[in-house]
Structure 1
Amino acid sequence: MTPDWTPLDQELDRWRDQGLTLPLWWRDDDAIAPTPQLDQLAALAAKVGLPVHLAVIPARVSPALAQELPPHLIPVVHGWAHQSHAPAGEKKAEFGAHRPLPDMAAEARDGLARLQTLFGPALPPLFVPPWNRIAPEITATLPALGYRMISTFTPRKTPLAAPGLSQINTHLDPIDWRGSRSLAAPERLIDQIARQLTDRREGRADADEPYGILTHHLVHDAAIWDFTTALLVRLMQGPITPWTAPKDPETEE
């Protein structure tokens, strides 16, 4: 069944009518090595004309990934080993408040160094904590470790996550992680993005933050790929400006 895209189409029309432009970006998590799924991701990015920020797991990355990565897939640091250290019963986190700060700082520093060695100047100084969770103490430390941007999930509350560290979040994830682990209800996803864009247009959310689509290429089934393709094609035909993470960003004061 084809989803009803009317709520999103109508909201994009309102953006056009008011002369507004949506900064749009794309983040895909958990990359380790070249795979057929990664090839499919790269092909989709080329088809729609939107680069993908590929969150790479430093401790598990294969050097072959750096050798074969096309330029429209932009590597960024995805924690260290994507290993949860949370106590039993708590939400998964690699960089949570239950760990010693020096241990987390060392892993964040080593993750940046390892990926800089592999990818060189193609790597923006952007940190993506696994499971989109990070303790405030380590967030505040990231600029001293060489990072200038951080990305988690849900609309940001402030442009800076810490002094010297821009917050560039993602906002829509099509996967039903707590249920089928396939595509979430398409109508709910369409309503979610339409409401988020309305909030921006009407001043209830930060309209300057790039709007982020979050995907996980290694676990996509056909339904997820199909919806993601349809969504990105629709957005790219709308009043948008593609956003890519700068290699030498100047953070907002």
Structure 2
Amino acid sequence: MTRGWDELDAELAHWTTEGLRLPLWWRDDDAIAPTEALVQLGALATRLDLPVHLAVIPETAQEELAQAVAQSSHLIPVVHGWAHKNHASADKKKCEFPSTRPVDEALNAAEQGMDRLKHLFGPALQPMFVPPWNRISPAMLPWLAGLSFAAVSTYGPRKRVQAAPGLVQINTHIDPIDWKHGRGLVPEDHLLSRLVDTLIARRTGQQDSAEPLGLLTHHLVHSDEVWEFCETLLRRLLDGPAHPWRFNERIG
């Protein structure tokens, strides 16, 4: 174990001493089909008794995925854009819903995503919109509630509770995958240092402590190190002040 775990334990002890509780949620992106990695994801969620909000790509989602999700009480499907295709210009970061894309076209794609996943998952589908690459044009946000979405989820501490009227912001804050250097595990000390800074900011009122703290994973690309880190981290948090948070439509 690195020194970062000791620092995390010390900060979690402050939370416990001060009687604070930490809502904790888990989002996993890019699901389209049942795989061995999905089985591993579901098994870990079951062991921890922590639900995973599974961001499903609607265009390519398979019927077999819906069957697998229906057999688990710990996999919660949500809408991951439409096709997970980049519509940004070549000089910009990848984004399926950039500000340069016509709003009507983008909203039609989001609505298609909701409709297709409703067909696949029925009432198990939760009305959360997760834009691919965690990026979305602000012009879309006021219209998403009209498409029956109740929440939007990107990455980083939220600036406000509602992204738009009727649309709650529930972000993720911890991404263990080193996307720029081989997709292994980000160095533990770096991950844990950033997490401790986040927890201190929440505890001292510098960040919104009511927003569930979110772990973001991508089960299809996990190395053994990433799996091990996620389990160790989640157990550490749940053994301390954290409690599982599960999406429902009465948030906000």
What TM-score does the superposition give when structure 1 sets the normalisation length?
0.97
Kept in 2, the 8 Å contact 1:21–1:240? The answer is yes
1:86-121 per-residue CA deviation (whole Å, 9 max, x = no partner) reads: 111210000110111111110101101111111111
Residues 191-230 of structure 1 mapped to structure 2, 5 A cutoff: 191-230=193-232
Kept in 2, the 8 Å contact 1:165–1:251? The answer is no
1: CA distance, partners of 2:250 / 2:51: 21
Residues 59-208 of structure 1 mapped to structure 2, 5 A cutoff: 59-69=59-69, 70-208=72-210
2: CA distance, partners of 1:43 / 1:27: 15
Does residue 54 of structure 1 match 2:54?
yes
What TM-score does the superposition give when structure 2 sets the normalisation length?
0.97
Structure 1 residue 251, shift from structure 2 partner: 5.4
Q: Which residue of 2 aligns with 1:21?
A: 21
1: CA distance, partners of 2:185 / 2:102: 37
Structure 1 residue 178, shift from structure 2 partner: 1.6
2: CA distance, partners of 1:250 / 1:54: 19
Structure 1 residue 250, shift from structure 2 partner: 3.5
1: CA distance, partners of 2:154 / 2:143: 16
Q: SS of the counterpart of 1:58?
A: coil
Residues 226-245 of structure 1 mapped to structure 2, 5 A cutoff: 226-245=228-247
Q: SS of the counterpart of 1:156?
A: coil
* 5+ residue gaps, structure 2: none
Q: Percent same amino acid among aligned pairs?
A: 52
AA of the residue aligned to 1:3:
T
Structure 1 residue 229, shift from structure 2 partner: 1.1
AA of the residue aligned to 2:2:
P
Q: Which residue of 2 aligns with 1:34?
A: 34
1: CA distance, partners of 2:250 / 2:22: 21
1:15-35 per-residue CA deviation (whole Å, 9 max, x = no partner) reads: 000000000000000000000
Q: SS of the counterpart of 2:89?
A: coil
Q: SS of the counterpart of 1:214?
A: strand
How much is the aligned-residue C-alpha RMSD, in angstroms? 0.9
Q: Which moved more, 1:62-71 or 1:50-59?
A: 62-71
AA of the residue aligned to 1:213:
L
* 5+ residue gaps, structure 1: none
Structure 1 residue 68, shift from structure 2 partner: 1.3
**Count of residue pairs brought into register by the alignment:** 249
Structure 1 residue 180, shift from structure 2 partner: 2.7
Structure 1 residue 208, shift from structure 2 partner: 0.3
